[in-house]
Amino acid sequence: MKRLLVANRGEIAVRIIRAARDLGISTVAVHSTADAEALHVRLADAAVEIGPPPAGKSYLVADAILEAARSTGADAVHPGYGFLSERAGFAAAVADEGLAFVGPRADVIEQMGDKVAARQVAAAAGVPTVPGTPGGVADVDAAVAAADIGYPVMLKAAAGGGGRGIRVVDDEAGLRSAFPAASREAASAFGDGRMYLERFVRRARHVEVQVLGDGSDAVHFFERECSLQRRRQKVVEEALAPGIDARVRDAMTSAAVRLAREVGYASAGTVEFLVDDETHEFFFIEMNTRIQVEHPTTELVTGVDLVTEQLRIAAGEPLRHGQADITARGWALEFRVNAEDPARGFLPSPGRVGRVTLPAGPWVRVDTWLEPDTAVPPFYDSLLAKVVVWGEDRETAIRRSRRALAEFTVDGVPTTAGLFTKILEQPWFAAGQFHTGTLEQWLADREEGSA
């Protein structure tokens, strides 16, 4: 691998470019007209404009990205996360061009991207799955046949994720009411209106396991806690997961590795689980076939640069880490600081920023594209920065996080940094006693003045 095209923008593009540079690989940035002066463009060795600001006319146009790779002599493409990262067709097109795709094979992306197929693979690998329908169903009458799952049940899009098409229903009447809208939403988002049903765990933890494979073998890098979510989008992540004992951790990480081996996984990936907060049972949800937003927490506790390992594997190298060599030390927290106004219902707040002060000091990492006197464009995700903090234990990491977040200031647009400081003050957070519904309930209580 000599020249890498980074098919993304923002902090993840910056992160990948830096990893490539550490390996002596030259880089090509792609950008919309809105990002012509962006940090990732300036850091790369070459840059190609691929279209106007809307992602559908630039970062999601595979042909434009492939032409940029051809014109600059790139021999590999890293998709980052989001955009085209989990599009099997894009991975196949990259391979057809004779380029290395920094990610798993197209058939693996396709298999794991279909939730029904992924559940079947997980079951074949002996990985526990949430009780549900054996396949996707296209109409509510077919779904009713799955009543033996037991209510409440969750309706989920068979062909996608990211919270699209999800509904929780308590009875058959609710199912009949919710199914058509959920199916239409799934069809609009993923081109496939099939839904599947699974048992809804009311007090569920969202815990994911980081895996790395080379197509022949796979290893894990422990787990991350991702339960603090708003509108099914992660807000705060941790490595490791509080309240997960050694027995559950060993079983869950072993299951994730079995799944990765079952599909011949090559690259970094994440196996996501629901953990019943009361029984501590865990169930496979899905596999994300890309680098995750929250990967820095794992890097801080294991000391392994996951993006570098992705690049090495894509270049044909075998795994460099045996499972016995991978250890976790300390605790890490990540806070996704967005240009959103919590006082106005988390309204996205693009605009021009003035002064920017980013936290620093020992064991504080900030992954960002943000610079003083730059514009936050309205066309993309509102993520400004990821503040990632390590401590020798969870309590130390929380204290250091308070200090780091207090230092984070951006003039010109509201951000969510102050909200995280308040979350850190909550007894339930300090105790690690929360689930996927905790944050939204706390936000609702705050709005009503009771928290």
Structure tokens at 182: 């959920």
Structure tokens at 261: 């081996």
CA atoms of 317 and 265, how far apart (whole Å): 14
Cβ neighbour number for residue 95 with a 10 Å cutoff: 14
In angstroms, what CA-CA distances link 23 with 1, 303, 310, 312?
Answer: 10, 17, 12, 9
Residues tagged active-site: 290
Q: Which of 196, 200, 203 is nearest to 151 (CA)?
A: 200
SS3 content of the chain, % helix, strand, coil (to 5): 35, 25, 35
Structure tokens at 352: 């021009």
SS3 sequence, 155-180?
EEECCCCCCCCCEEECCHHHHHHHHH
In the three-class reduction of DSSP (H, G, I as helix; E, B as strand; rest coil), residue 254 is classed as helix
CB-based burial label for 117 (10 Å; 0-12, 13-18, 19+): middle
Structure tokens at 301: 């506790």
Q: Which residues, 6 or more positions from 184, have their beta carbon under 8 angstroms from its beta carbon?
A: 193
- Residues 388/337, Cβ–Cβ less than 8 Å: no
Q: Among the residues of 52-87, which ranges form H helices?
A: 62-72
The dihedrals phi and psi of 57, each to the nearest 5 degrees, come to -115, 10
In angstroms, what CA-CA distances link 176 with 146, 185, 191, 217, 331?
Answer: 13, 15, 21, 44, 45
Q: Which residues of 414-440 are buried (b: 16+ CB within 10 A; e: fewer)?
A: bbbbebbeebbeeeebeeeebbbebbe
Ramachandran assignment for 51, one of left (phi > 0), alpha (psi -120 to 50 degrees), beta (any other): left
